[in-house]
Structure 1
């Protein structure tokens, strides 16, 4: 994939992001003097107003509702409430709903808490109180919100006070609203449709990863599949889409979403360490990235469980513990891009929106500012973009790895050929022949012919080694000239060759090869002035007993026959045809005189 193709894909993804953010939404609608509904979880669900808290406060568990109703120590400057104290207080002043139908429901973002107590404060100081445990909260089917019924709010009611014990999340407090009807709470159909689209976009890359893992067997593919699963779970639970299918307790939904996100982020760092090319990161940086992944799995993963005893620290701890991995992965990608990493470019495109959206979500989670819950849509869209781009990246890496493996296999085959072939003649060498000898015997190659050029030292001494090499090459061509499946030629070393034969008329075929050697050398190596002949020792063994001899046995017997041919005047063949026996033979039966079978050279 070239640079232009890569840039075209980036542009297409940017267009997709712009299209998704351009989806219709009523997040900007306002109602009277109220804050925009996008500031709360039920922002775009209804034309009815949703009333935000006027003030907030925090205290220990010993502060009573009466004490809070009478005191003026409330924070009313629009800052984010605190979720690190045992009790958080929200105050809704009656001026916000004067002249309107009185609110009957309280709803907010799903998050862990121990209990929520409501007190309707009348002008004469009367308090009407209703309390609910965490298990009594009812998640809605549209969005990550739950609602609770309020105590009766009368015409003389001047304020509603909400006491939230052990709040584990700032959005639980900052996105709390009062509303007339529970049906008015939750997210819009467009927002829920976007969540469904994101889930659909995550399913196909998951199958894509699994298919690639079957072929590739690379750890980074399995890690990315784990990331996709974690992101799917996060979108289902954090977006409240799971409530469309199952009514889950608030305590479970509250834990599963941040836990899935911590797992996804931890696997992302581990994926980064495996996915980048080896030369794109130093060993130290790779170990540091793996450590960041394990840290994210362990520490934010622990805070995600939101135990009540850890409530003062788990909200901040969760988001702050995510920061090292975000900073480190950003640095690692930047370093890898500086080293020319192709994979790092994909990661930069895939993770930049996700990291930015995660930082924005962390800032809201830490209570550094109050923003609309619709900003969560950026995180879901960024998740979908990440999965799409990384699927393309994995496909690109798959092709690169396949090319590398093909090249490695080609090199291995070449090295294997070099190690098994004689460099001068191209024939099989002795090492290769010995390693395959048992297999060749089993295939029926039961005739062993040992060939040696006559007076070859004289050729080298008189004409030089270059001419001698030419004679060896011509000899090898003569022995391999048949080019059929019933003969195998090899060079043992020096001027010594072996031909294994099978089938009919093996002795005749071996003799024809021997006779062709002087003719081949004469035609291909001119200027010798005299023929270069060859002597041959041939051992023929019945196939049924061929397995009883080793290569060394064959070689020793054929070598003796070959020297017998040389002693008889050279340029001839001496052979022996053995009969069937049960054990290795100790003697030799002559089938005929060498001169009778081969004849002298002309």
Structure 2
């Protein structure tokens, strides 16, 4: 719903109290005869008293709906020489009862009365009709007594007609309402689709606004009567109630939809308060209890003006701050504001116009919904871009914190955090790699060459087996490769041998190959969980230094197995591990697996 929802007021509201500035003027497109005079009184005034000496107002003043009883008088001169009317119809609104009295020339009164529940809504707009007592040739006037009227249009738009088929809005007007409903359905689906992807509160609020407007058009426009005949009291309440709900949701929508820098925290809290106010206060008056009949019309209208003022101020302030969303709102709400101003002028009695002007609001509503759907789509894309950028930045920061800046491999912190997960995935071979005489490379050829050698080493260790090998740089010239699958030792040795070849091809000018020593721990997968990263690292580090001590450029490995009971000759090894694991340690220039024998 838009700003016009706040300004225009519902069909029952006082904004339309002067929709017909004079009861003699034909302010409706409906065929029929308008009242000649009107009056208002307390409950004790009888029809006969009004017929004899009523305080009738027969000028252009608007009928009053704030006293317990309202009166209308239709003089016979209205239909003189024509077929006599047989039905009364007017705008759907709450009331307690309506009584008719046909006054003949000799003073005879023929009366007929109906309660609100007996009124029959017509499937041709927001109207209902009642049959009249017999109107004869000698009838001089028809007097109508309306108890507890809750709306001025109930009085100002009352007409006498020959046939109920003559009442109601045209087919074109009803088709227009149906088109507006159709225009509202698509944005509702858009809102639901957007909310599934982007769980933003303003999308849900807009969906509620669209539902409220659909309900308002169905009931306030009388379109619901085409499909379902409801009691007058139900239709008269649901229309303004849905209007109040839509207005309140509009204020809440603004608080959520406008960009954070377009409104201060105080303004946002104010709009939330305005939304709650509009739902509760006008919502209460829209129920139109008979006990509040004297004030509910005016109370509804004044409460809406409060919401209109603050909502207008919030939009203008956001536009002044350069809000893109506020510009969309202003564009979408301009037709509604124009329709609201026109309605207000008629409500103030500045001029008289046909009730078909009310349909401008429905057309403007369709325009507003289309523009607001575009606004939400624009905001949706903007928020999605912001979230994508934030996710990209978060991924980059995560990568920077978990990756080695020089080589792009995982760093030690990332490897340690994932170590248990990798063991569970079967990476049960731990290879610790250290470049031989790397300090000589830095001192002789400079740190740029040293960095090139580290990058080339990382590329060699990454290899083409990303699925079954994970490489990481622990720091300096020290690397780790975790492997899983068959021939893990052989594959580890192949990676080690690939290092000098890769460095030689990518770092020119070295006078000798840069080799690597490797210490490897291999443990059956079922037993891998028994060791931590530090356990693997400590044992592999010892093996790696044994390889260096044996002449460098080689691999030293242990294959660990589980013993049922440890042999006495293995007591020292057991004391080192603190577990029931035994090991056979073998320096070697090529991969070789040696299993420990069970005792």
| TM-score, scaled to structure 2 | 0.86
Matches within 5 A, 1:134-213: 134-213=116-195
Q: How far does residue 52 in structure 1 lie from its aligned partner after superposition?
A: 0.9
- SS at 1:209's partner residue? helix
Q: How far does residue 326 in structure 1 lie from its aligned partner after superposition?
A: 2.2
- Residues 363/310 of structure 1: CA separation in 2 closer, same or farther (3 Å cut): farther
How many angstroms apart in 2 are the aligned matches of 1:117 and 1:313? 23
Contact 1:430 1:492 in 2 (8 A): yes
**Which 5+ residue runs of structure 1 have no aligned equivalent?**
1-32
- SS at 1:349's partner residue? helix
2:220 equivalent to 1:226:
no
Contact 2:24 2:35 in 1 (8 A): no
Q: How far does residue 370 in structure 1 lie from its aligned partner after superposition?
A: 5.2
2:546 equivalent to 1:552:
no
What residue number does 1:313 align with?
295
Indicate the larger mover: 567-576 or 244-253.
Answer: 567-576
2:90 equivalent to 1:108:
yes
Contact 1:79 1:369 in 2 (8 A): no
How many angstroms apart in 2 are the aligned matches of 1:304 and 1:364? 21
Contact 1:169 1:365 in 2 (8 A): no
How many angstroms apart in 2 are the aligned matches of 1:427 and 1:98? 101
Q: How far does residue 480 in structure 1 lie from its aligned partner after superposition?
A: 2.2
Indicate the larger mover: 522-531 or 184-193.
Answer: 522-531
Contact 1:118 1:160 in 2 (8 A): yes
Contact 1:446 1:501 in 2 (8 A): yes
| TM-score, scaled to structure 1 | 0.85
- SS at 1:163's partner residue? strand
Q: How far does residue 422 in structure 1 lie from its aligned partner after superposition?
A: 0.4
Q: How far does residue 368 in structure 1 lie from its aligned partner after superposition?
A: 7.3
What residue number does 2:543 align with?
561
Matches within 5 A, 1:67-106: 67-71=49-53, 73-106=55-88
Q: How far does residue 531 in structure 1 lie from its aligned partner after superposition?
A: 4.9
2:587 equivalent to 1:593:
yes
Indicate the larger mover: 494-503 or 205-214.
Answer: 205-214
**Which 5+ residue runs of structure 2 have no aligned equivalent?**
1-22, 565-576, 593-599
What residue number does 1:487 align with?
469
Q: How far does residue 241 in structure 1 lie from its aligned partner after superposition?
A: 1.6
- SS at 2:229's partner residue? coil
How many angstroms apart in 2 are the aligned matches of 1:596 and 1:35? 110
Contact 2:555 2:590 in 1 (8 A): no
How many angstroms apart in 2 are the aligned matches of 1:482 and 1:184? 86
**What does the per-residue CA deviation read over 1:265-287, in whole Å, with 9 as the maximum and x for residues that have no partner?**
11122122222222332222222
Out of 491, 496, 503, the position equivalent to 2:485 is 503
- SS at 1:575's partner residue? strand
Q: How far does residue 535 in structure 1 lie from its aligned partner after superposition?
A: 2.5
**What does the per-residue CA deviation read over 1:419-475, in whole Å, with 9 as the maximum and x for residues that have no partner?**
221011111111221222223223332221111233444554565544433332232
Matches within 5 A, 1:423-442: 423-442=405-424
Out of 426, 432, 442, the position equivalent to 1:450 is 432
How many angstroms apart in 2 are the aligned matches of 1:422 and 1:125? 107
What residue number does 1:268 align with?
250
What residue number does 1:61 align with?
43
Q: How far does residue 111 in structure 1 lie from its aligned partner after superposition?
A: 0.4
Indicate the larger mover: 477-486 or 233-242.
Answer: 477-486
How many angstroms apart in 1 are the aligned matches of 2:127 and 2:590? 106
Taking only aligned residues, the RMSD between alpha carbons, in angstroms, comes to 2.7
Q: How far does residue 492 in structure 1 lie from its aligned partner after superposition?
A: 0.9
Indicate the larger mover: 192-201 or 348-357.
Answer: 348-357
How many angstroms apart in 2 are the aligned matches of 1:214 and 1:592? 61
Matches within 5 A, 1:383-462: 383-457=365-439, 459-460=441-442
How many angstroms apart in 2 are the aligned matches of 1:586 and 1:128? 113
Matches within 5 A, 1:289-328: 289-328=271-310
Out of 520, 524, 529, the position equivalent to 1:542 is 524
- SS at 1:169's partner residue? coil
Matches within 5 A, 1:18-37: 35-36=25-26
- Residues 586/183 of structure 1: CA separation in 2 closer, same or farther (3 Å cut): closer
* Equivalent pairs, count: 558
**What does the per-residue CA deviation read over 1:225-244, in whole Å, with 9 as the maximum and x for residues that have no partner?**
22222112111111112122
How many angstroms apart in 1 are the aligned matches of 2:484 and 2:165? 90
- Residues 591/513 of structure 1: CA separation in 2 closer, same or farther (3 Å cut): same
Q: How far does residue 289 in structure 1 lie from its aligned partner after superposition?
A: 1.5
How many angstroms apart in 2 are the aligned matches of 1:291 and 1:522? 73
